[in-house]
Amino acid sequence: MSTNFTHLSVSELHALMAEKQQVIVDIRDETSFSQGHIKGAIHLTNDSLADFVREADMDNNVIVCCYHGNSSQQAAQFLVTQDFTQVYSLDGGFTQWQLQYPTEIAQ
């Protein structure tokens, strides 16, 4: 069992999205999330965290996205402690995703 999350670049996430089942969770504030997020991302907040942990498939790839890839590291490590087996922190966060894949943003 992994005890740590894995770093993932936006390019790696883009490739992963075409191949595998994954869940992308966005931990940014509500306004930022509503103004744009990675297509298919779930907005994860303190209020929705307990439901997410209870209902999610623990063996699914979980990619945590924040603004720049800093806060997502703590959130990813927390999910590892909740027994998720494949957890990733998106390096560069939504800011980097928006730069590399501006057409793949949902609102």
Q: Out of 10, 25, 63, 66, pick the active-site residue.
A: 66
Give 89's strand partners. Answer: 7, 64
Q: Which two tokens stand for residue 92?
A: 């560069």
- Does residue 66 carry a catalytic annotation? yes
* Range list of β-strands (E), the chain: 6-8, 22-26, 37-38, 42-43, 61-65, 86-90, 105-106
β-bridge pairing 105-106 and 37-38: antiparallel
Rounded Cα–Cα distance for residues 45 and 8 (Å): 21
**Which residues are marked as active site?**
66
